[in-house]
């Protein structure tokens, strides 16, 4: 209903960079529809950004400890620049990550972004010892719930959990949905170089399915067992390694048959689906049940899993052609807009959403309609 | 000129599966144009398939030795099924790989495929000791030159070389072009887990550039240093691992700056560009020279290298949407049709080429025009 009511709204012809609407103005404009005061306001596009990074001082401090312990893990390079920058180097992103209500709300207002779906930034709690990880996940979820309670029209949030301890994770996932009323979960790909298709992680998948809440499978740098070719030229990062890591994780979920065991699991992939939509023909040809399936217990074709169990976001891929490809391949119902704040700038992400050649229906689904439905975000 | 003369030819509305034209009939029909006998023949689309696998008994025997020595290398799984299948299991693909003039020409005739651009199948000579590798590359190139001499209208070929010995490789590359008149080179991604951006391989890149002949960067399974997540569910193979391996190799070439050193190097990627076209926006955003470039000596944006130094083929991705995306992203001038015989069946590859929604100009470029220009294939 929400979608069809909103589908009538016209899209903005130009970015609204200069318009800083008050907190509830967007909703009121939507309700008043054609009667709104100015044409710009009448046509204002509701925008929910769905992969927006945030952290707590406690997690930042714990990551500083991880960096100082050192090692060969490929996430350490970026983590060092954020959490343990050499004296004299300005730390990157940290003030934005630690903030919700000051820098962030101002930026959202400046660009007409209605909501951020907040999540603890990568690698979450996944590099900590299990007990520390569980404690920091709970603390982070409490803080996020508090922010959402204070600003229910501006923030929703995904819960973290510690895959290091799957039973504790499942318990925290239950609390995050039923008590804290958060909107789903986020996991940053591998944990200690292991992937969620491994049976020891099944309690996590079972909890996500049972709670009917989506699991955002966010990247991190490639796991140690595939790290070597990514050690040069900063290839471990968003330029290439993140997509390989998260995409490989998603393919493992499809080919392992774990989605036959948890057929109602809903997974969200960022970065335009980590290129899996583009690979889908080959994934199906080579990965369908049948002659080539030796060693692969999956009962469905990858594209069947993808359409049933996955949704994607546009984070970090502000390419109208790639977006059109994904709509034509998957339909517009499983695609959500994201900025990836503060790692990507807000202005071009908004410009992309507002100017990409889309139908009104497609644009409203991608801008907010799908996020409201998939993450159960109220209006 | 070739292209514009042929651009007037209408495309086939239906596959020509049943028409087995004699060897020169295609060329004659093309020359006679509108005057040809039947409408079907008048509209016949010339087709050059550009990633077509072949081998010699000597290479097959040497690969059997590699399989029997065993180890953890991820190519061994497929190699075992082809070259050392257990008693009672029919060996896969081997009779087609060892053949050019019997099974293959009959299949080409059956589906109206004018030419195969032959190449020694993956992993080529790259798993042999350097002296064996160099010897078998020379032998393979001699045999290919002989096949091309016997059937100049039906076969062209790419030369192999042994990256294990870069100086010997460069020498063989010179012989392959200047003496044997082959059409370019093929390399199967990593050699002993090393990539072509490493300075010790620069003589190979220098030779390819100096000889003005393209280098087909073909996949193999992921190198040992990134193998672990691919060890389950046959993920090392064409379903996922090949694309990750070859794509990672290509990104290394772009981000290492090696294409600044060899600005006229021409690289061909199969499998619809190993998804790099789809990743191009993010590659540019994160991998362009500038603020995020620490550790990356590349002077150009990835998309600038890609358009200048790369061409792609459609092997294994018979997806009209993916093809359209690549045309819109890169232009039709750098896209060539391929079957990947005998690993992919000919009939659907021909059907894909003939039925994809393309303009006449796009279809003739992709079917043969680009291959004639890029690989200098005569008509």
Pairing mode, if any, of strands B215-218 and B115-120?
unpaired
The C-alpha angle A254, B349, A271, rounded to 5 degrees, equals 35
Q: CB B248 to CB A255 under 8 A?
A: no
Test mutation, B321, B324, B326, B328, chain A, max A CBs within 10 A? B321
The answer to whether the beta carbons of residues B124 and B84 sit under 8 Å apart is: no
Chain A residues closer than 8 Å to B271 by CB: 282
Task: Measure CA of the first residue to CA of the last residue in chain B; give whole Å.
Answer: 12
Q: CB B243 to CB A282 under 8 A?
A: yes
**What pLDDT score does B33 carry?**
35
Least confident of A33-42, A66-75, B39-48, B337-346: A33-42
CA distance A155 to chain B (A): 27
Q: CB A279 to CB B283 under 8 A?
A: no
Residue B184, Cβ neighbours under 10 Å: how many? Answer: 27
Chain A residues closer than 8 Å to B283 by CB: 239-240
What Cα–Cα distance (Å) separates residue B326 from each residue in A77, A204, B46? Answer: 33, 38, 21
**What pLDDT score does B364 carry?**
98
Residue of A nearest to B224 (CA): A226
User: Is the pLDDT score of A80 beyond 80?
Assistant: yes
Q: How far apart are CA A143 and CA A150, in angstroms?
A: 11
Q: How far apart are CA A210 and CA A102, in angstroms?
A: 36
Report B:289-348 residues touching A (Cβ under 8 A). Answer: 292, 294-298, 316-319, 321-322, 325, 328-329, 344
Chain B residues closer than 8 Å to A297 by CB: 233
Mean pLDDT of chain B: 90
- The pair of three-digit structure tokens given for residue A259, joined into one six-digit string: 């989605």
- The pair of three-digit structure tokens given for residue A377, joined into one six-digit string: 């975000």
Q: CB A316 to CB B282 under 8 A?
A: yes
- The pair of three-digit structure tokens given for residue B163, joined into one six-digit string: 């990256």
For residue A197, which of A161, A158, A148, A250 has the smallest C-alpha distance? A250
Place of tokens 């044409």: A39
**What pLDDT score does A291 carry?**
64
Query: What are the residues whose beta carbons fall under 8 Å from the beta carbon of B230, sequence distance 6 or more?
Result: A226, A248, B74, B221, B222, B236, B240, B241, B244
**What pLDDT score does A32 carry?**
35
Q: How far apart are CA A153 and CA A150, in angstroms?
A: 9
Kindly write down the DSSP assignment for every residue of B306-342, as one continuous string: HHHHEEEE-TT---HHHHHHHHHHH-GGGEE----TT
Residue of A nearest to B196 (CA): A229
Percentage with pLDDT > 70 across chain A: 88
Residue from the list A237, A281, A318 with its beta carbon closest to the beta carbon of B319: A281
Q: How far apart are CA A350 and CA A71, in angstroms?
A: 38
Residue of A nearest to B250 (CA): A240
Q: How far apart are CA A253 and CA A205, in angstroms?
A: 11
Q: CB A235 to CB B248 under 8 A?
A: yes
The answer to whether the beta carbons of residues A214 and A178 sit under 8 Å apart is: no
The C-alpha angle B47, B368, B100, rounded to 5 degrees, equals 50
Test mutation, A76, A78, A92, A278, chain B, max B CBs within 10 A? A278
For residue B341, which of B48, B64, B12, B5 has the smallest C-alpha distance? B48
Chain A residues closer than 8 Å to B297 by CB: 233
Q: Does the pTM of the predicted model rise above 0.80?
A: yes
Query: What are the residues whose beta carbons fall under 8 Å from the beta carbon of B114, sequence distance 6 or more?
Result: B26, B46, B47, B48, B108, B153, B154, B368
CA distance B118 to chain A (A): 22
Chain A residues closer than 8 Å to B230 by CB: 226, 248
The answer to whether the beta carbons of residues A112 and A47 sit under 8 Å apart is: yes
**What pLDDT score does A25 carry?**
35
Q: CB A226 to CB B225 under 8 A?
A: yes
User: Is the pLDDT score of B24 beyond 70?
Assistant: no
CA distance B217 to chain A (A): 16
**Active site (catalytic) residues of A:** 340
User: Any alpha helices (H) in chain B, and if so which ranges?
Assistant: 2-7, 25-32, 39-42, 57-69, 76-83, 94-97, 103-111, 130-150, 166-178, 202-210, 241-255, 258-261, 271-274, 276-287, 302-309, 320-330, 346-355, 360-364, 370-374
Q: What is the mean pLDDT of residues B24-46?
A: 47
CB of A280 within 8 Å of a chain B CB? The answer is yes
What Cα–Cα distance (Å) separates residue A1 from each residue in A153, A336, B271, B318? Answer: 19, 18, 42, 38
What Cα–Cα distance (Å) separates residue A194 from each residue in A62, A74, A222, A252, B248? Answer: 21, 15, 11, 11, 21
Q: CB A226 to CB B224 under 8 A?
A: no
Chain B residues closer than 8 Å to A326 by CB: none
pLDDT tens column, A113-128: 999 999 999 999 999 9
The answer to whether the beta carbons of residues B196 and B187 sit under 8 Å apart is: yes
Taking CB atoms within 8 Å and a gap of at least 24, the contacts of B26-31 are: B26/B112, B26/B114, B27/B153, B27/B379, B30/B6
Least confident of A198-212, A281-295, B182-196, B353-367: A281-295
Residue from the list B226, B232, B272 with its beta carbon closest to the beta carbon of A228: B226
The answer to whether the beta carbons of residues B48 and B117 sit under 8 Å apart is: yes
Q: CB A316 to CB B224 under 8 A?
A: no
**What pLDDT score does A237 carry?**
96
The active-site residue out of B131, B284, B340, B360 is: B340
Q: How confident is the model at residue B293 (pLDDT cuts 50, 70, 90)?
A: low
Q: How confident is the model at residue B28 (pLDDT cuts 50, 70, 90)?
A: very low
Residue A359, Cβ neighbours under 10 Å: how many? Answer: 12
Chain A residues closer than 8 Å to B285 by CB: 316, 318, 344
Residue of A nearest to B320 (CA): A281
Q: How far apart are CA B60 and CA B83, in angstroms?
A: 6
User: Is the pLDDT score of A90 beyond 90?
Assistant: no
User: Is the pLDDT score of B57 beyond 50?
Assistant: yes
Place of tokens 């590798």: B133
**What pLDDT score does B292 carry?**
67
Q: How far apart are CA B378 and CA B114, in angstroms?
A: 12
Chain B residues closer than 8 Å to A190 by CB: 229
Residue of B nearest to A195 (CA): B229
The answer to whether the beta carbons of residues B246 and B310 sit under 8 Å apart is: no
What Cα–Cα distance (Å) separates residue B206 from each residue in B211, B218, B260, B366? Answer: 8, 19, 12, 28
Going A51 to A280 to B113 to B155, the CA torsion angle's sign is positive
Report B:235-254 residues touching A (Cβ under 8 A). Answer: 235, 237-240, 243-244, 247-249, 251-252
Q: How far apart are CA A274 and CA A271, in angstroms?
A: 5
Going B178 to B180 to B183 to B186, the CA torsion angle's sign is negative
Q: What is the mean pLDDT of residues A125-153?
A: 98
Q: CB A296 to CB B322 under 8 A?
A: no
pLDDT tens column, B330-370: 999 999 999 999 999 999 999 999 999 999 999 999 999 99
Q: CB B281 to CB A319 under 8 A?
A: yes
Following CA atoms A206, B240, B199, B179 in sequence, which dihedral angle do they give, to the nearest 10 degrees? 180
The answer to whether the beta carbons of residues A33 and A101 sit under 8 Å apart is: no
Q: CB B281 to CB A235 under 8 A?
A: no
User: Is the pLDDT score of A16 beyond 60?
Assistant: no
Chain A residues closer than 8 Å to B294 by CB: 234
The answer to whether the beta carbons of residues B53 and B122 sit under 8 Å apart is: yes
Which ipTM value was assigned to this complex?
A: 0.90
pLDDT tens column, B228-278: 999 999 999 999 999 999 999 999 999 999 999 999 999 999 999 999 999
Q: How confident is the model at residue B200 (pLDDT cuts 50, 70, 90)?
A: very high
């Amino acid at each position: 209903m929400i979608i069809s009511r909103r589908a009538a709204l016209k899209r903005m012809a130009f970015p609204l960079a200069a318009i800083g609407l008050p907190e509830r103005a967007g909703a009121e404009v939507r309700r008043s529809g054609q009667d709104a005061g100015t044409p710009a306001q009448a046509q204002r596009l509701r925008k929910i950004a769905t992969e927006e990074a945030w952290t707590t001082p406690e997690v930042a401090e714990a990551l500083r400890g991880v960096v100082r312990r050192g090692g060969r893990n490929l996430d350490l390079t970026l983590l060092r620049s954020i959490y343990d920058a050499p004296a004299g180097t300005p730390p990157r992103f940290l003030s934005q990550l630690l903030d919700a209500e000051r820098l962030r709300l101002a930026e959202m207002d400046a660009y007409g972004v209605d909501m951020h779906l907040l999540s603890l930034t990568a690698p979450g709690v996944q590099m900590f010892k299990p007990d520390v990880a569980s404690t920091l996940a709970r603390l982070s979820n409490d803080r996020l719930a508090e922010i959402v309670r204070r600003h229910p029209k501006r923030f929703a949030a995904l819960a973290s959990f510690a895959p290091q301890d799957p039973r504790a994770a499942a318990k925290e996932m239950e609390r995050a949905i039923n008590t804290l009323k958060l909107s789903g979960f986020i996991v940053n790909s591998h944990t200690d170089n292991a992937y969620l298709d491994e049976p020891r992680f099944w309690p996590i998948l079972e909890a996500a399915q049972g709670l009917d809440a989506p699991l955002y499978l966010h990247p991190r740098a490639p796991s140690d067992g595939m790290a070597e070719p990514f050690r040069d030229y900063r290839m471990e990062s968003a330029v290439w390694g993140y997509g390989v890591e998260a995409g490989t994780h998603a393919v493992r979920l499809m080919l392992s048959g774990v989605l036959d065991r948890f057929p109602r699991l809903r997974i969200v992939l960022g970065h335009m689906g980590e290129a899996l939509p583009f690979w889908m023909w080959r994934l199906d040809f080579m990965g369908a049940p049948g002659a080539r399936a030796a060693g692969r217990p999956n009962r469905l074709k990858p594209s069947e899993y993808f359409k049933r169990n996955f949704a994607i976001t546009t984070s970090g891929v502000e390419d109208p052609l790639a977006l059109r490809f994904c709509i034509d391949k998957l339909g517009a119902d499983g695609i959500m807009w994201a900025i990836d704040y503060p790692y990507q700038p807000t202005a071009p992400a908004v410009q992309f959403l507002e100017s990409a050649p889309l139908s009104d229906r497609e644009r409203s689904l991608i801008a907010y309609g799908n996020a409201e439905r998939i993450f159960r975000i109220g209006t």
